[in-house]
Amino acid sequence: MEHGGNINLIENKYGIDKNKIIDFSANTNPLGMPNVDINLNCLEKYPDVEYKILRHAISKYTNTNYENIIVANGSTELISLLIKIINAKQTLISMPTYSEYERESRIIGSSIKYYITSQENNFEIETEKLLNLLSLETNLFILCNPNNPTGKSVSNLEKIISYCDKKNILVIIDEAYAEFFDESAIELINEYENLIIIRGTSKFFCLPGLRLGYAITSNLEIIDKINEVKDPWSVNSLANEIGKAIFNDKEYIKKSKDYISKEYQFIKNSFEKINSCKLYDTRANFFMCKILNSKTSNKLFNYLLKKNLLIRDLGNCKFLNNKFFRFSISNHENNLLLIEQIKKFFTE
């Protein structure tokens, strides 16, 4: 699955001015980043190599212990580091999902097993089926929750983590989209040392260019191992300073959640009138849809791009096909525009 948000590629490939594109593919907060007042002089100094103040801010924000937090250059650095240090012989990945878990697992030569959620079950995880797939050979289970691109969250998380714990299986949960609807496994962190949660600031705080992510685990052995191999200062001084400011911005956090909830409902209601399309319910700030008539997601993608609207065509996503697409919840004006154009596409 290619990444969303690649407006430079779109500009080059389709000759569209990237500044005119309304991007529904990157899944970032439509309110934009929080207001921060940062002195750029921070760049004249190395950041604290232990990132103490930043980690304390994250600890307060997530209600977890300071020692259990590690910061990095985006969630992407943590996905890569964790998969490398765990070095699992066999990795189980819940599919369809974000492509980086498989890419990184292949780099280290881990044998990959898939748990595939089905269309018949609306892409929800069926706990018993999943547990049956976790064999003695499995060392690592990777889950995105809520999941990109389906938007689904897992209802029986504790049962799955506890089962894995008994079988000595580590569980990585990517919570890149957790904050929009408060879907998190953080409260299980102290109880389960086999659990590692990865989060970032790219989506909820709309800071994909900042490259700031963090992992939380009560498994101090894993934290020590990451610190052994991680480059020092991979979070730069600017990201360090901005990070210290944003996690305490309660007003922005509340405003963002309220805005997304309102637009979520608006989009759901609007899609009830579009018969050619199935909108999957979501626990994230984006929706996945399936086209129910003979048209394809690629045709829709091109149609919308001509109107400067960029969605994510999921035709090349493993275990989906050319009927699926995804779009982020944007601001009200943009959401209206997108829905109008999708309606038009299906009536032409």
- Find the binder of ligand PLP among 68, 76, 80, 138 (CB under 6 A): 76
61 CB-near residues (< 8 Å, 6+ apart)? 247, 248
Q: What span, in angstroms and rounded, lies between the C-alpha atoms of 107 and 103?
A: 6
- The residues in 187-216 that bind ligand PLP, with binding defined as CB under 6 A, are 200, 202, 208, 213
Listed ranges 69-77, 120-128, 222-230, 335-343: which one lies at the site for ligand PLP (CB under 6 A): 69-77
Residue, CB closest to ligand PLP:
200
Task: Compare residues 64 and 147 and give the one whose CB is closer to ligand PLP.
Answer: 147
Question: What six digits make up the tokens of 248?
Answer: 């305490």
- The residues in 132-191 that bind ligand PLP, with binding defined as CB under 6 A, are 144, 148, 174, 176
Task: Compare residues 205 and 345 and give the one whose CB is closer to ligand PLP.
Answer: 205
- Find the binder of ligand PLP among 98, 115, 181, 286 (CB under 6 A): 98
Listed ranges 72-80, 102-110, 183-191, 317-325: which one lies at the site for ligand PLP (CB under 6 A): 72-80
- Find the binder of ligand PLP among 30, 74, 151, 243 (CB under 6 A): 74
Amino acid code (one letter) for 141: F
Q: What span, in angstroms and rounded, lies between the C-alpha atoms of 336 and 279?
A: 16
CB 347 within 8 A of CB 295: no
Tell me the closest approach of the beta carbon of residue 61 to ligand PLP, in angstroms. 16
Task: Compare residues 25 and 64 and give the one whose CB is closer to ligand PLP.
Answer: 25
Quote the distance between the C-alpha of residue 238 and its chain's center. Answer: 23
Task: Compare residues 79 and 345 and give the one whose CB is closer to ligand PLP.
Answer: 79
- The residues in 206-265 that bind ligand PLP, with binding defined as CB under 6 A, are 208, 213
Q: What are phi and psi of 174, to 5 degrees?
A: -90, 110
The contact mask relative to ligand PLP for 271-310 (x = CB under 6 A, - = no) is: ----------------------------------------
Burial-class residue 159 by CB neighbours within 10 Å (0-12, 13-18, 19+): middle
Listed ranges 58-66, 71-79, 250-258, 311-319: which one lies at the site for ligand PLP (CB under 6 A): 71-79
Listed ranges 70-78, 314-322, 331-339, 340-348: which one lies at the site for ligand PLP (CB under 6 A): 70-78
Task: Compare residues 169 and 206 and give the one whose CB is closer to ligand PLP.
Answer: 206
Listed ranges 73-81, 121-129, 231-239, 310-318: which one lies at the site for ligand PLP (CB under 6 A): 73-81
H/E run at residue 7: helix 7-14
Q: Are strands 213-216 and 69-72 parallel, antiparallel or unpaired?
A: antiparallel
Please count the residues of this chain forming the interface with ligand PLP, following the rule CB under 6 A.
13
Cis geometry, peptide bond prior to residue 232 (ω within 30 degrees of 0): no
Tell me the closest approach of the beta carbon of residue 274 to ligand PLP, in angstroms. 25
* DSSP per residue, 216-251: E-S-HHHHHHHHHHSPTT-S-HHHHHHHHHHTT-HH
3-state class percentages of the chain: helix first, strand second, coil last, to nearest 5? 40, 15, 45
Q: How far apart are the first and last CA of the chain?
A: 29
- Helix, coil or strand: residue 87: coil
Report how far apart, in Å, the C-alpha atoms of 43 and of each of 209, 239, 240 are: 16, 10, 10
Tell me the closest approach of the beta carbon of residue 79 to ligand PLP, in angstroms. 7
Tell me the closest approach of the beta carbon of residue 207 to ligand PLP, in angstroms. 8
Task: Compare residues 237 and 285 and give the one whose CB is closer to ligand PLP.
Answer: 285
Task: Compare residues 176 and 345 and give the one whose CB is closer to ligand PLP.
Answer: 176
Q: What span, in angstroms and rounded, lies between the C-alpha atoms of 68 and 57?
A: 13
Contact set with ligand PLP (CB under 6 A)? 3, 74-76, 98, 144, 148, 174, 176, 200, 202, 208, 213
